Every structure is written in structure tokens, then in C-alpha cells.
Amino acid sequence: MSVKTTCLGVLSGLLFSASGIAEAATPCPVADVAQDLASTNPSIRLKAARVLREAACYGAALPLAALVADPVDEVQLEAIAGEVAIFLNKNVVARRHVGFVIEVRHDVASDAFWAGPMASSGRPAPAEVLAALRAAAHDDNPRVAVEALYAFGAMAAEVKGVARRDLQEANGPYLADLAGSAQREMRLAAVAVIGRIYTRWPDETLNESVGPAVIAALDDREDVIKIVAARAIGGMRYERALQPLTDLFSARARGDVAEAALDALARIAHPSSMPLFKSLLTATDTGLKTLAIAGLARGGDRRVIAEIDDSLMYERSDDVILSRNFASVLLENASIDMLGEGLLQASRHDIALAYLIEVASTRPAKFLAYALDPDPRLRADVADILGLTRDPRGLPLVEPMLKDRDPRVAQAAERAVARMRP
């Protein structure tokens, strides 16, 4: 049966209950196009969907969800793009590489997904919207299916609390099945979505239902899928993948796949991986050395600082030095100033941001000065960093930014507060 005839009410119950959509600050044109949404003419339905997409108001979310199951592909794609405009960012610019080169299709939802968490409003979509997108991921049109899955993954990643656990439990078999698709784009999207939804938040118990599927993806014939699978495993900190990751790293030794495998091992930071990390302190490949130092830092043994410093006597790589600063913060409770400086340098921004998100999950008080910094770029980054911890302890630092004079800071603060409030 085509997904276009699936009952959304039934699928909604498979996901979780969610609070209703808040009233938009400005009038939403749903009433103006209500008759057009039910028209038998697909051109009229398409025009109505476009009106709602351009309005990007919360009140349009449920009407657009109904059109995600429309029998006409163009209407479906417009409806998916409308949900992206409401809950993500209709003007996102996709980052084609974050740590490792990842080539993806160019489309509205996929671009929003690969732009990362900063492309989101931070606010979870209602169950009906997620149910519609999840159903459309089985559409008979591959473009519709992949777009729906990317939109589902980006929006579902914002769900919190008990609803998040219910969502993970309900969607494990479904996503594992898509990760084994014969279509390369669907496999890539499914593994990436698993990585986004099942990344373990602080103090969260790992849901292992998708673990075997992601381990299987490490053997995919496409290197890009191996890379995305490794990143998903690292975010999950899935210890059962330690041996497959180590084997993959040993087989490749260098290059993007090897770095992805090592990065996953470094994020898991299991004691059994520490000898490997120490052996790479003298590596000539600065990427591997950077990841090894980060892995040692997460291992928690302060004694490794001396070994790290011995290996850096003549080091000139900014990334390696930044990883040493990260180790100092984790192992010696040092200042975050060096990592903060990295946020202002384009070449180091993303790695500094990732390190600081980890630091903020246990040390939010270190960000007080940065929350008050005169540079709006730093204030915006700090809001996002604290928001991505989902830790309410950061609210006193972020809530004043809601009234920041710089719109970028205020927008980041809105996103952060949505993530941190229960």
C-alpha cells in the first residue's frame, strides 16, 4: 500500500503524545486557504501549501501534515518544505563537511538536516507532524521518501523527556529497516537520522535498539555511509561497536573513514582504547593525533597530560593544540579561554564548538563571562552551546539573551531556552 493512503491518526499513536501548537504571534492564513486545502484540484492544493509554507506559522503545521500524505508528489514536497520552514529554517545553508566530507543531495529538508542543530528552532513538532513525515518516508517516490525522513529526523531530535524515550523505542525497528535499504540515499539518510535521534544526552541511558543496524552500516559499500555510521556510534557511545570500529580503523589506517572510526572510539573513550590513543600521540597525521588526544581527555586519567605534553614539544598544528586545551579543561579544570578563542576563527570554530558543548554539559558556570561578551558571535555561540546540553542550569545565563540587541543572539537564545526548559 502506498504511504499516501495511510491513516495518520493511527500512525500518530505509534509515536508519542505532544502538547498542542502554540498560537502564532501574527495571524496565520490557515482559514484563508481552508477550502483550497481540500480541493480536488492538485494545483489549488499546491498553491495553498505554498501560502502556508511562506507564512511559516505554527498554526499551519497540522494542515500541512495532512498534505504530506497527498497523492501528488509536488504537493507532498511543498508540505514537507512547509514543515521545515516552521520547525527548522527555510533559509538554511547546508554545511557540506563537518569534521569529515559528507556529500548529500541538495533539497530543502536534507539541507536543513545537514546544516545541523543550529538550523532548528529547538522546539519539538507535534506528534501528527512527525507521524506524517515518518509515514512519507515509505513513499513510492524516492525523493519524497528521503526528504520526509530527513525532516522527521531533524524534528524528532528535539523531543524531550519521556516522549523522547517513547519515540526512540517506537522507531528503532523502523529506522533499522530503512538503514538496510537497497537505495543509497535512503541508507545514508536513515543512518544519519539514527545518529541524530539516538545520540546520548548527558545522564541518559542508551537505547540500543538501532545498534546492530548501525554496526552493519560500518560494512556498507559506500564510504560516506561508513563515515556517517561511525559518527552515529560515537554519538551513541555504543560500546558493542568497539571491535568493529577498531577493525575498521586498522584496515584503513588513514583517510576520512579511518578518522571517523577513530573519532567514534574517542567519543566512547573506553579503557580498552587508551593504548591505541597513546600510540597515536606520535602520529604524523595531525587529524589522528587530534582525535587521540581528545579520546585520552575523555578517558579521565589526569596522568596522560604529561604524555600528551611530551608529544607536543614541537607541535604547530592549531587543531592538535586545541585538543590539548580541551584535555586541560577536562582533566585539570583549566580555563576555557583558548577554546573560546577558537570560536572566533573560521578554521577552528566547529571543533572548538564541539569541545565546548562537552565542557558545558558538566561545567556551565565556566560560560558566564562569555554570555556577557561584547562580541555577539560569542554570545550567540554560548547560547547554542548551553542549549545543546539541555541542562536547565544554563537558563540563568541564556534567558537574559532573549532581549539581546543583536537578532542573531536573541534567535540563538530562543532556540536554547526551548531546549533547556522542561
- What pLDDT, on the 0 to 100 scale, is given for residue 23? 43
- What pLDDT, on the 0 to 100 scale, is given for residue 95? 41
**Would residue 216 be called left, alpha or beta, if left means φ above 0 and alpha means ψ between -120 and 50 degrees?**
alpha
Say which DSSP state 22 is in: P
- What pLDDT, on the 0 to 100 scale, is given for residue 314? 85
Q: Are residues 112 and 119 in contact, defined by beta-carbon separation less than 8 angstroms?
A: yes
Handedness of CA 247, 248, 250, 251 (dihedral sign): positive
- What pLDDT, on the 0 to 100 scale, is given for residue 4? 41
Q: Answer yes or no: is pLDDT of 18 > 70.
A: no
How many Cβ atoms sit within 10 Å of the Cβ of residue 405? Answer: 7
What cell was used for 369?
Answer: 563571562
Cβ neighbours for 297, distance < 8 A, ≥ 6 positions apart: 304, 323, 326, 327, 330, 331
- In the chain, where the domains are located: 1-159, 335-422
d(C-alpha 352, C-alpha 382), whole Å: 12
The most confident of the ranges 3-12, 95-104, 273-282, 304-313 is: 273-282
d(C-alpha 87, C-alpha 21), whole Å: 11
Q: What is the pLDDT of residues 380-400, one digit of tens each?
A: 999 999 999 999 999 999 999
Q: Answer yes or no: is pLDDT of 17 > 50.
A: no
How many Cβ atoms sit within 10 Å of the Cβ of residue 161? Answer: 11
- What pLDDT, on the 0 to 100 scale, is given for residue 100? 43
Q: What is the pLDDT of residues 212-249, one digit of tens each?
A: 999 999 999 999 999 999 999 999 999 999 999 999 99
Average pLDDT, the chain: 89
d(C-alpha 102, C-alpha 83), whole Å: 24
Looking at the DSSP bridge assignments, the partners of residue 98 are 100
Looking at the structure, give the CATH architecture of the domain made up of residues 335-422: Alpha Horseshoe (1.25)
Looking at the DSSP bridge assignments, the partners of residue 110 are none
Residue with cell 570554530: 349
d(C-alpha 42, C-alpha 390), whole Å: 42
User: With bands split at pLDDT 50, 70 and 90, how would you rate the model's confidence at 63?
Assistant: very high
- What pLDDT, on the 0 to 100 scale, is given for residue 14? 33
Q: Which of 7-11, 65-69, 242-246, 358-362 has the lowest mean pLDDT?
A: 7-11
d(C-alpha 8, C-alpha 130), whole Å: 10
d(C-alpha 49, C-alpha 80), whole Å: 9
Which one, of 203, 15, 188, lies nearest residue 102 by Cα? Answer: 188
Q: What is the pLDDT of residues 75-132, one digit of tens each?
A: 999 999 999 999 987 544 434 333 444 455 558 899 999 988 988 989 889 999 999 9
- What pLDDT, on the 0 to 100 scale, is given for residue 267? 97
- What pLDDT, on the 0 to 100 scale, is given for residue 7? 34
Per-residue pLDDT, averaged over 368-385, amounts to 95
- What pLDDT, on the 0 to 100 scale, is given for residue 124? 87
Q: Answer yes or no: is pLDDT of 334 > 70.
A: yes
Could you tell me how many residues make up the chain?
A: 422
- What pLDDT, on the 0 to 100 scale, is given for residue 11? 32
- What pLDDT, on the 0 to 100 scale, is given for residue 118? 86
d(C-alpha 418, C-alpha 422), whole Å: 8
Per-residue pLDDT, averaged over 293-314, amounts to 94
Q: Are residues 136 and 177 in contact, defined by beta-carbon separation less than 8 angstroms?
A: no
